[in-house]
Amino acid sequence: MGKITDEMVEKSFEIGKDFYANKLSLKEGISVLTNIGMNENSAVDYIYNYSNLIQGKLFTRTTNIYGTEYFLRKIYEENGVNGLQNALLSLSQHIDYYEEKSGSSVKKGKDIYNKYVKLIDHIPSNIVYADEVNPKIEYAEGKTKQVLVNSYERNQIARKKCIEHFGFNCQVCDFNFKDKFGELGVEFIHVHHKIDISTIGKEYSVNPLTDLIPVCPNCHAMLHKRTPAYSIEELKEMMDK
């Protein structure tokens, strides 16, 4: 297989975008890329990878490092934060898939992922969290309380990945904001981090499917009525009683 050049990557982005927008067929796109020297199988992979990235869907075929970063950068430039969030969700799923199948680490891919996650981590989230207050600290009247919601719960990519798996219903009481509030409640839910913050080391890497869980703000607040927090099962049992 010949080397995939930067020119091929950049052209495949434009072809992938046009294919996704139904402006040209897959066959036409492949023809353009093979005419500049790209292998046909690689052309298919790169064209489809755009569609997966822009939708936040898993892609199983790899792209080179330049291609991975170029696609993320261009999607961010053209589609803003929401587009980049979807692309990062897609890349995160790809990394998980590849590492599970190959048994090896995707270090350079993770470096690119972390670079762009840090970029959007500085953008305020529109999700309002219940106060999680350290009960050991005494506050003067009127002084702002310390919020202890941790960064894992605020991480927008981890949040998306968690919700894509579990859905928007509270996993304690089954409340759904859209069902109750209509359009106002669409895609609104908190995510709760199940592991006590004090037990987390610097090298800890959150797993959105095992460490995070969607909960409504009321249940979220009740989970944190104790330190360490109650488990989902414990809170469900209290409600059943």
> Could you give the dihedral angle defined by the CA atoms of residues 54, 69, 16 and 21, in that order, rounded to the nearest 10 degrees?
30
Are 9 and 64 contacting, i.e. CB atoms less than 8 angstroms apart? yes
129 belongs to a structural domain: no
145 belongs to a structural domain: no
CA gap 32, 38 in Å, rounded:
9
Of 204 and 18, the structure prediction assigns the larger pLDDT to 18
Same domain assignment for residues 15 and 117: yes
- Supply 81's token pair: 């934060």
Same domain assignment for residues 111 and 202: no
Q: What is the pLDDT of residues 30-53, one digit of tens each?
A: 999 999 999 999 999 999 999 999
Same domain assignment for residues 15 and 108: yes
Q: What is the pLDDT of residues 90-134, one digit of tens each?
A: 888 888 888 888 877 788 888 999 899 888 766 555 555 444 434
- Supply 169's token pair: 């219903």
- Supply 205's token pair: 């890497």
69 belongs to a structural domain: yes
CA gap 87, 78 in Å, rounded:
12
pLDDT given at position 233: 94
- Supply 73's token pair: 């950068």
Lowest-pLDDT range, 5-19, 136-150, 223-237?
A: 136-150
Lowest-pLDDT range, 62-76, 170-184, 206-220?
A: 206-220
Q: What is the pLDDT of residues 174-213, one digit of tens each?
A: 999 999 999 999 989 999 988 765 555 544 556 788 888 9
pLDDT given at position 205: 58
What is residue 173's three-state secondary structure? coil
pLDDT given at position 137: 39
Looking at the DSSP bridge assignments, the partners of residue 214 are 191
Q: Which domain holds residue 184?
A: 151-240
CA gap 179, 40 in Å, rounded:
47
Same domain assignment for residues 68 and 116: yes
pLDDT given at position 198: 55
pLDDT given at position 145: 37
189 belongs to a structural domain: yes
The string of DSSP codes covering 225-237 is: TSSSPPPHHHHHH
Number of domains in the chain: 2
Question: Residue 40: which H helix or E strand, with range?
Answer: helix 40-55
pLDDT given at position 156: 72
Q: Among candidates 232, 94, 69, 230, which has minimal Cα distance to 161?
A: 94
Q: Among candidates 8, 15, 101, 24, which has minimal Cα distance to 59?
A: 101
CA gap 121, 89 in Å, rounded:
14
Same domain assignment for residues 21 and 108: yes
Of 137 and 164, the structure prediction assigns the larger pLDDT to 164
Looking at the DSSP bridge assignments, the partners of residue 190 are 215
The answer to whether the predicted template modeling score (pTM) of the entire model surpasses 0.95 is no
pLDDT given at position 224: 87
pLDDT given at position 193: 86
pLDDT higher than threshold 50 for residue 19: yes
pLDDT given at position 139: 35
Q: What is the pLDDT of residues 122-139, one digit of tens each?
A: 655 555 544 443 444 343
